[in-house]
Chain A
Amino acid sequence: MAVLVYTENWDGKFKKATYELLSYANEIAKNTGNETVAITVGNVSDEELKKLGQYGAVKVLVNKEEKFAKFTAQAYSTLLADAAKAQSANFVIFANSYSGRALAPRVSVKLDASLAPGAIQLPTSYEPFVIKKKAYSGKAFVDYELTGDVKVLTLNQNSFKIVEDTKKIVIEEYTTDVADNEFVAKVVDVQKETGKLSVTDAEILVSGGRGLKGPENWGMLEEMAEILGAGICCSRPVSDLDWRPHSEHVGQTGKVVAPNLYIAIGVSGAIQHLAGVNSSKVMVVINNDPEAPFFEAADYGIVGDAFEVVPKLNEALKNFKAS
């Protein structure tokens, strides 16, 4: 029996998040007497594939066929579900990423499985199998019991640490029959944001709100992000006003994030915003209104004018980084 993990790759490379996901899956495998098997699609070198063996995978299935070169949810889910059957997998684990969310529900229907989307930690119990996940857009958590024989999980990013467990890994080319009509939805163009740390990948996020008064004032946030190696995001009004792109909006109806450090500048902290960021490990708020609700949720706060505080803080951070 196996725990099958869909290890996404980006132009043939894995990310830190891939190893976190694999470590999580491997922990479940150890606790359920299973082997950890990875599967990936695309042109990934053997050297890169072998890295998966450091985190517990004893086997990696790889599909390098041209017809799968571009993502299409319908065909990919057939490929993955068939692999799960071939490996007698009783768990299939995805990242709670855009592609994981697109695939996991389809795969779970094909396998007649139970699906838990957005696990935030290892199972609370194995018998019965209970996963803790967020609900009400981060305003609450629930215990979610999976009663099916096969279980499909998606794991939230930045919720599990990498654990090394070196295994001798076997690389196997893998394919299955997928009907042509499963490739109807075709990717015709990919627009990548280059040179920018994506909001969901960043371990530190600097966030700006309406208190910053206009898009021309983001320079000091960009400087802070540069010093800290952080990503940049914003509150909903800021993206609604088109000061910043929608892809940077975090909150209940934007992206839900969980960085190690979240620095909110000129963000009041409406309940919908907090819902999207309250899984951050440490939250700092800088706001000139001492009554801003964000101070209730934050770990550290400064009451003051962002236009005075942020440049000073940037200086202090620069000195700290240089020391």
Chain B
Amino acid sequence: MKVKDIVPRLGLDMLSGDADREISGCYVGDLLSWVMSHAQFDECWITIMSNINVVAVASLTDVACVIIAEGARPEENVIEAAKAKGVCLLLSEETVFSLAAEMAGLLKEKQAE
């Protein structure tokens, strides 16, 4: 499953990054140090944080994409930083819970294939 597969399924707004990046799992969290020690390479990270440090954490952990949930909006400099670092930023109005539930469903579907 790729980023471009989840964008239409979850109704996401893609701001930056690589749509062909493979997604192998999902991680949810807002405490950046916690996320840094637990999120894995190629996972989709769902958070309500939208500040510039999100881009640094996403880049260091090398997650496949970041979904900024619940209508939170990153500022322009955050989007610029994401583009410069090749971090895939996705926006959603949905709650973290409902996005995580949908991701769980998609990942299960993928496993069953």
Q: Do chains A and B interact in one complex? A: no
A residues in contact (CB < 8 Å) with B:
none
